[in-house]
Amino acid sequence: MFKKVLIANRGEIALRVIRACRDLGLRSVAVHSTADADALHVRFADEKVCIGPPPSRQSYLNIPALISAAEVTGADAIHPGYGFLAENAEFAEVVQKCGLTWIGPQPHVMRTMGDKVSARQAMEAAGVPVVPGTPIIETDRQAEEAIERIGLPVIIKATGGGGGRGMKIVDEPRRLLTQLAAARSEAQAGFNNPAVYLERYIGRPRHIEVQVLGDGQSAIALGERECSIQRRHQKLIEEAPSVALDDARRVELLRAARKATAAIGYRTVGTLEFLLDENKQFFFIEMNTRIQVEHTVTEAVFGVDLVREQMRLAAGDPLHLPAEMRPRGHAIELRINAEDPVTFAPSPGTITALNLPGGIGIRVDTHIYAHYRVPPFYDSLLAKLIAHGDNRNVALARVRRALDEVVVEGIKTNCDLHRRVLSHPDFIGGRFDTHFLERL
């Protein structure tokens, strides 16, 4: 096992990794921009290094600065968290070439699964169902032929994208080429890669993801998470297990995820994402080769520390968890963001008063504190509120109670939106899809 971990990230995930390091008896190194000098991950790490000014490109995305920080502190491993460079294969290669342990998947696997077209091909080869679609669209004629074969509506997607950027829905042939050009332009601006492909558009799907772990030889699927409550393809509420799956379909989905993870020789934790259509058929859409924001709901129902498992696997340990594990109860996570509840615009500023909830079955992962200044440079996530109970009704009651205890003054948050969702009959009854918030 390595001895000192540099955490190439900030906020609540940096604190999460620091805690796992402490549990394992490892030392931790926090990096920070000048805007984060007073952040909690900086305070609680064993060592700290300032790596640049506030803009991410000059700090958290600055590979030479991160490597230098590891060298000057004697860190022998790097954990990337999520976001920033977590799925950057070039960064992983640089880390390894410098003789450091990369706490993540192999770079070639990151490249394969980070490109949505090659990921689709890998899953098809493993026998996993994928949404009918195309390779990269090179010409307008290829796109026109594709919609004749797939049918309308279709969705245009950026091969290296995420978060909804570079995605366009086409429901009329006359709009195809205009939307194709717009998607390519967005993809180039967002990811420096204009490549796009087409998929059949599933109108009212549920977004189901499977937590997987692999040691390069074998793999396990540690249950599924329901992630259908989204706004503009950004998840807001996640829960485990999903109420949309019966036992037979769950067994089928987890078996497919386990098979796919082993087929690509995956070594670390990761997430396979699927769409579930109205006929309860599931289709692979992408893989996230990192720890997820919502990993906490899986930890709650399975009692497994996933960040600790990441570190064990990075150190070369084989999988030690049972191949078949059943969830214990139900967990729900709310993402509490610093944003205007009406316009959803970011709401940076100083938190003048703060109260965080507690009690049986409640977990809060956060990096904020009273008088903390929320900087305008980064993601708006303030906290993750997780409730666990013997069943979904208990978890719902606990998360509502906990949400009512949340006090964040001085800035705006999306807490009122969460209250509206949690009290809606369709959410309570498990009748929702990825367009739920559009109809709220």
C-alpha distance from residue 372 to each of 155, 220, 257, 264 (Å) = 41, 40, 41, 43
Question: How do residues 293-320 score in pLDDT, each as one tens digit?
Answer: 999 999 999 999 999 999 999 999 999 9
Work out the average pLDDT over 408-424. 97
Read off the pLDDT band of 166 (50, 70, 90).
confident
Work out the average pLDDT over 10-29. 98
Asked if 169 and 213 touch (Cβ cutoff 8 Å), the reply is no
Beta-strand pair 47-52/27-33: parallel
Instruction: Give the sign of the dihedral formed by CA 411, CA 414, CA 417, CA 423.
Output: negative
Q: How many CB atoms are located within 10 Å of the residue 145 CB?
A: 13
- Integer Cα distance of 126 and 143 in angstroms: 26
The lowest-confidence range among 132-146, 152-166, 377-391, 415-429 is 152-166
Any idea which residues carry the catalytic annotation?
A: 290
Question: How do residues 24-70 score in pLDDT, each as one tens digit?
Answer: 999 999 999 999 999 999 999 999 999 999 999 999 999 999 999 99
Does residue 161 surpass a pLDDT of 90?
A: no
- Residue ranges per domain, the chain? 4-103, 132-200, 206-439
Question: How do residues 128-145 score in pLDDT, each as one tens digit?
Answer: 999 999 999 999 999 999
250: left (phi over 0), alpha (psi -120 to 50) or beta: alpha
- Integer Cα distance of 212 and 271 in angstroms: 6
What's the pLDDT score for residue 33?
Answer: 98
Read off the pLDDT band of 232 (50, 70, 90).
confident
* CATH number 3.40.50.450 given to 132-200: no
- Integer Cα distance of 225 and 212 in angstroms: 11
Terminal alpha carbon distance of the chain: 49
Percentage of residues of the chain with pLDDT beyond 90: 94
Does residue 233 surpass a pLDDT of 90?
A: no
Beta-strand pair 362-366/381-389: antiparallel
| Domain spanning 206-439, CATH class | alpha beta
| Domain spanning 4-103, CATH class | alpha beta
Asked if 414 and 340 touch (Cβ cutoff 8 Å), the reply is no
What's the pLDDT score for residue 210?
Answer: 98
Nearest to 183 by CA among 204, 203, 155: 155
Higher pLDDT, 37 or 162: 37
What's the pLDDT score for residue 402?
Answer: 98
C-alpha distance from residue 339 to each of 253, 334, 379 (Å) = 35, 14, 10
Work out the average pLDDT over 277-288. 95
Question: Length of the chain, please?
Answer: 440
Does residue 388 surpass a pLDDT of 90?
A: yes
What's the pLDDT score for residue 323?
Answer: 87
What's the pLDDT score for residue 160?
Answer: 79
Query: What ranges in 98-175 are assigned the alpha helix state H?
Result: 107-114, 116-125, 140-150
Averaged confidence pLDDT in the chain = 96
Work out the average pLDDT over 188-216. 94
Nearest to 236 by CA among 434, 10, 431, 11: 434
Q: Which residue has the tokens 């074969």?
A: 149
Does residue 122 surpass a pLDDT of 90?
A: yes
